[in-house]
Amino acid sequence: MPDVVLTPEELTARTTVATEAAFNAATDLGLLVEETRVLHDAFSLVLHLHPSPVVVRIPLVLPPGTTPEALVLRQRRELDVADWLAREGVPAVRPSPLVPLDPVREDDFTMTFWELVDVAEDHEPYAAADHAVCAALHAALAAYPGVLPFLSPFNEGLPAMMEALEGSPHLTDDDLDRAHAEWHALQPVLSSAKAFRERFPEADLQPIQGDAPSHNVIRSTKGLVFGDFEDVCLGPVEWDLAGHGPEAAAAYDEAAGPLGMRTIDPDVQRVMDAARSLQAVASFSLVPQLPVLEQGLQLPLRAWRESPPLVL
């Protein structure tokens, strides 16, 4: 772990500086901002630019070595997909029409601007919706005409996170040996769409949300709204259900048939579950940037340790 863990004071300072950058960027864009209201502060800082009906999201916690250029490409993909979904009538958080459809760089931060959603009283962050909603989202995303990278959460962020695990105080030597063994087993299968198709010729690929869409929803006064398409990519639909268990797959399958979508492939799901578990273990490399993450990773770490080693 090459980085020193940020102190509470340093975390507060990071939020303050990012907030100032967002204010300056928003006012330069002509938005009226009388007050910045923190809606969320974890991997990203999310602010309501009151009284404008605009929310700004600023990524703060990123895989080691992430360049500004790579971040901009990721944000542009998200903006394009979210804008396309909204124009198709899919309930997804819409990029703000009050600013250009492009990330904005201010100081050391790159941010995106979104339309404010009228949140319902029963909304809770990360409170899961029925996994059937994933099938409806996939049915809509299947028609997305843009070009997306293959399984970017695995191929773009994970290599550097795996490398940064060395010396982690949170993992034993046995943990590290197993993690690297699973990484070397999964990488040849998941490194490209071609490699994946050779291993799973019956499992089609399509645009997917990339980060548990059933948990990235906002309960608005008008119903569920999909959000957080930062990891949007090309992949098997099973990635979006990874780690959620057989009940999630059953709910998905029940909804998929009437929508003309294929049902879950158990062999693909097993591999996606393993890849997602490895991603969780590798996320210990992000703890220096977000210390509270350590506590949240204990449960997936314990489940991974208790699971049988991956065999492909």
Q: Where are the beta strands (DSSP E) in the chain?
A: 33-41, 44-51, 54-59, 104-106, 109-115, 206-208, 217-220, 223-226, 233-235
pLDDT digits (tens, 9 = 90+) for 67-83: 999 999 999 999 999 99
Q: What is the pLDDT of residue 3?
A: 67
Q: What is the pLDDT of residue 126?
A: 65
For 11, residues 6+ apart whose C-beta sits below 8 A from its C-beta are 291
Whether residues 55 and 157 fall in one domain: no
Evaluated on CA atoms 301, 205, 227, 157, the torsion sign reads positive
For 32, phi then psi, to 5°, come to -85, 120
Q: What is the pLDDT of residue 4?
A: 84
Whether residues 100 and 172 fall in one domain: no
Whether residues 59 and 126 fall in one domain: no
Whether residues 133 and 278 fall in one domain: yes
How many domains are there within the chain?
Answer: 2
d(CA 169, CA 226): 36
Whether residues 101 and 82 fall in one domain: yes
CATH of the domain at 276: 3.90.1200.10
Asked if residue 99 belongs to a domain, the reply is yes
Whether residues 99 and 143 fall in one domain: no
pLDDT digits (tens, 9 = 90+) for 265-274: 999 999 999 9
* Mean pLDDT, the chain cut into blocks of 10 residues (312 residues total): 82 98 98 97 97 98 95 98 97 97 97 95 74 94 97 96 94 97 97 97 95 90 93 98 94 94 96 97 97 96 94 86
Structural domain that includes position 138: 118-299
Asked if residue 305 belongs to a domain, the reply is no
For 83, phi then psi, to 5°, come to -65, -40
d(CA 220, CA 129): 13
Asked if residue 312 belongs to a domain, the reply is no
Q: Provide DSSP, 171-209.
A: S-HHHHHHHHHHHHHHHHHHSSHHHHHHH-TTS--EEE-
CATH of the domain at 103: 3.30.200.20
d(CA 18, CA 1): 25
Cα angle: 103, vertex 158, 162; to 5 degrees: 135
Whether residues 208 and 98 fall in one domain: no
Q: What is the pLDDT of residue 182?
A: 97
Please tell me the pTM assigned to this model: 0.94
Residue that is last in its domain, among 93, 116, 139:
116
Asked if residue 306 belongs to a domain, the reply is no
Evaluated on CA atoms 114, 120, 126, 128, the torsion sign reads negative
Residue that is last in its domain, among 116, 142, 161:
116
Q: What is the pLDDT of residue 312?
A: 86
Residue that is last in its domain, among 100, 116, 132:
116
Q: What is the pLDDT of residue 48?
A: 98
